[in-house]
Amino acid sequence: MTDVEQPPTQAAQREAVVDLLGVLAYAELSAFERLASDASLAPALEQQAALGEMAVAEFGHFVTLRDHLAEMGVDPTVAMTPFVAPLDDFHDSTAPADWLEGLVKAYVGDGFASDFYREVAEYVDDAPTRELILAALADTGHAQFVVEQVRAAITADETVAGRLALWARRLMGEALVQAQRVAVDREALTSLVGGGDLVRIGELLARLTARHTERMEKLGLKA
Amino acid sequence: MTDVEQPPTQAAQREAVVDLLGVLAYAELSAFERLASDASLAPALEQQAALGEMAVAEFGHFVTLRDHLAEMGVDPTVAMTPFVAPLDDFHDSTAPADWLEGLVKAYVGDGFASDFYREVAEYVDDAPTRELILAALADTGHAQFVVEQVRAAITADETVAGRLALWARRLMGEALVQAQRVAVDREALTSLVGGGDLVRIGELLARLTARHTERMEKLGLKA
């Protein structure tokens, strides 16, 4: 450990990229399963189908990332395995109690993850991999659906806003606990992002928090 | 009610076709959710992804059927609603306890449903609708994966075969209970299939049972 930033070696860069693709792939696969399963909380068949479509889009991203790992000569299962426990624990500790909690989780979780991976992709020196990550994070066009549903629920019952704002804070808390765990375990990945530079990590967190606050405002919730 | 077979009127034929598309659409949507959710029972990430792929294929079928209903000028939600309770009850009463039960449910359930809808499609006099139903039932190519997994599990532990054979019988029992319920409630649909002719219904059941037995043999299980 050192405070002086070192340019990563080629091996360390590759290790970090494999980690990044691995965590992203399993994040998409588990998001697919949880979204599909949360769809059963929908109050009507149209919303159930809409959440299903979001889930299928995540599965498509998973396939792209898995196939890219295989093309790099990496076993996708090996790359994903270190991230199964943290992501499963995150989902287990944040199972939505109802449809609105499910929607907020899909929107806040997907948004935050998307911002984070986009930031990390900037540090990937292999252009095709970088582009692949950005494509996997492309807006699936379902965010607007969630915003409309949540705003309508708040208009119908103002007390919903307080409850969902608390829920979103819990989601962020649990996400940070698991991110911390990954950061400690996966040194190459952490170096890729922060390079040992605490100022840079601080700036990254500030940007992510600002964008989270914007998303909460769009939903009509206090961050 | 009469024992004499009457050709269905055009209105009755349309009502039956809407029912058929409605039940099939919701069957695909709920199969998607349950499969995606059962994927978390997988012993390894590769199998988890394979069940995810099966789920995504079901969702694609759902979209095709839903869009066809809309093109016919029918609200897909209205068409699906009468079948939500029977299908949800079926799934709730047959939640797999482990990965192998999940696989057998996917294979036996999907196969039986497929045979049944294929038989019913023969009675649909609108050619594009008939072709659409048959396309939605096309083998997603995942059946072989299930057969291999189940046979390997039986080879590793012979006691598995007895347990899974009992499980498959329970699945069939629950499916027949719900089918019975639908048959009583949806007269137009029942007329389309049986036309009041008990011999024809008996022959249909005999064909479906024979094909179920074949599937069980492929899995290495007693029907």
Chain B residues in contact with A46 by the CB 8 A cut-off are: 77
CB contact at 8 A, A28 and A136: yes
Distances (CA, A) of B88 to B60, B74, B76, B81: 20, 22, 17, 11
Q: What is the pLDDT of residue B113?
A: 82
ipTM for the predicted complex comes to: 0.72
Nearest CA in chain B to A84: B45
| Axis crossing angle, helix B99-121 with helix B198-219, rounded to the nearest 10 | 150
**Token pair 């952490």 is at which residue?**
A190
What single DSSP character describes residue A141?
S
CB contact at 8 A, A168 and A104: yes
**Token pair 């119908």 is at which residue?**
A156
Chain A residues in contact with B96 by the CB 8 A cut-off are: none
Chain A residues in contact with B62 by the CB 8 A cut-off are: 49, 52
CB contact at 8 A, B38 and B51: yes
Average pLDDT, chain A: 86
| Axis crossing angle, helix A10-38 with helix A127-136, rounded to the nearest 10 | 10
Rg (CA), chain B: 18
CB contact at 8 A, A8 and A126: no
- Chain A and chain B share a number of CB contacts under 8 A equal to 63
Q: What is the pLDDT of residue A89?
A: 93
Chain B residues in contact with A99 by the CB 8 A cut-off are: none
CA–CA distance, A66 with B83 (Å, rounded to integer) = 37
Q: Which residues of A touch B (CB under 8 A)?
A: 26, 29, 32-33, 36-37, 39-40, 44-46, 48-49, 52-53, 55-56, 59-60, 62, 66, 76-77, 80-81, 84
User: Is A80 buried (19+), middle (13-18) or exposed (0-12) by CB count in 10 A?
Assistant: buried
Is pLDDT at A180 greater than 50 in this prediction?
yes
- Residue from the list B46, B66, B84 with its beta carbon closest to the beta carbon of A77: B46
Q: Give A75-124 as a DSSP string.
A: -HHHHHGGGHHHHHHHHHHT--SSHHHHHHHHHHHHHHHHHHHHHHHTT-
Interface test with A, best of B45, B53, B63, B90 (most A CBs within 10 A): B45
Tokens of B81: 């609603």
Confidence class of residue B86 from pLDDT cuts 50, 70 and 90?
A: very high
Q: Which residues of B touch A (CB under 8 A)?
A: 26, 29, 32-33, 36-37, 39-40, 44-46, 48-49, 52-53, 55-56, 59-60, 62, 66, 76-77, 80-81, 84
pLDDT digits (tens, 9 = 90+) for A186-201: 888 888 776 666 677 7
CB contact at 8 A, B220 and B150: yes
CA–CA distance, A19 with A2 (Å, rounded to integer) = 22
Task: Count the helix, strand and coil residues of chain B and give each as a percent rounded to the nearest 5.
Answer: 80, 0, 20
A185 closest CA partner among A78, A62, A85: A85
Tokens of A194: 């922060």
Is pLDDT at A62 greater than 90 in this prediction?
yes
Q: What is the pLDDT of residue B189?
A: 82
Burial call A104-127: b when 16+ CB within 10 Å, e when fewer = bbbbbbbbbbbbbbeebbebbeee
Interface test with A, best of B48, B62, B65 (most A CBs within 10 A): B48
Confidence class of residue B8 from pLDDT cuts 50, 70 and 90?
A: low
Distances (CA, A) of A184 to A2, A13, A25: 15, 17, 20
Nearest CA in chain B to A75: B46
A145 Cβ contact list (under 8 Å, min separation 6): A50
pLDDT digits (tens, 9 = 90+) for B93-149: 999 999 999 999 988 888 888 888 888 888 888 888 888 888 877 766 677 888 999
Q: What is the pLDDT of residue A72?
A: 93
**Does B45 sit within 8 Å of A76, measured CB to CB?**
yes
CB contact at 8 A, A150 and A108: no
Is pLDDT at A141 greater than 50 in this prediction?
yes
Chain B residues in contact with A60 by the CB 8 A cut-off are: 56
B181 closest CA partner among B105, B103, B83: B83
Interface test with B, best of A56, A63, A80, A90 (most B CBs within 10 A): A56
Nearest CA in chain B to A60: B56
Q: How far is A44 from chain B (nearest CA, A)?
A: 8
pLDDT digits (tens, 9 = 90+) for B203-223: 887 888 889 999 999 999 987
Q: What is the pLDDT of residue B7?
A: 62
Burial call A142-158: b when 16+ CB within 10 Å, e when fewer = bbebbbebbeebbeeee
Q: What is the mean pLDDT of residues A1-9?
A: 56
pLDDT digits (tens, 9 = 90+) for A73-100: 999 999 999 999 999 999 999 999 999 9
**Maximum distance among all Cα pairs of chain B, rounded to whole angstroms:** 56
Confidence class of residue B6 from pLDDT cuts 50, 70 and 90?
A: low
Chain A residues in contact with B60 by the CB 8 A cut-off are: 56
Chain A residues in contact with B39 by the CB 8 A cut-off are: 33
- Residue from the list A45, A52, A60 with its beta carbon closest to the beta carbon of B77: A45
Chain B residues in contact with A37 by the CB 8 A cut-off are: 33, 36-37
CA–CA distance, B182 with B192 (Å, rounded to integer) = 13
pLDDT digits (tens, 9 = 90+) for A144-155: 888 999 999 999
A72 closest CA partner among A112, A33, A16: A16
| Phi and psi, residue A16, nearest 5° | -65, -40
Tokens of B214: 């074949």
Nearest CA in chain A to B47: A77
CB under 8 A, 24+ apart: contacts of A176-181: A177/A90, A178/A86, A178/A87, A178/A89, A178/A90, A181/A86
Is pLDDT at B72 greater than 70 in this prediction?
yes
Q: What is the pLDDT of residue B157?
A: 93
CA–CA distance, A18 with B69 (Å, rounded to integer) = 44
Q: What is the mean pLDDT of residues B55-80?
A: 93
**Maximum distance among all Cα pairs of chain A, rounded to whole angstroms:** 56
Is pLDDT at B1 greater than 80 in this prediction?
no
pLDDT digits (tens, 9 = 90+) for A20-51: 899 999 999 999 999 998 888 898 999 999 88
Number of other CB atoms surrounding residue A16 within 10 Å: 22
pLDDT digits (tens, 9 = 90+) for B141-185: 677 888 999 999 999 999 999 999 999 989 988 888 888 788 788
Q: What is the mean pLDDT of residues A178-190?
A: 81
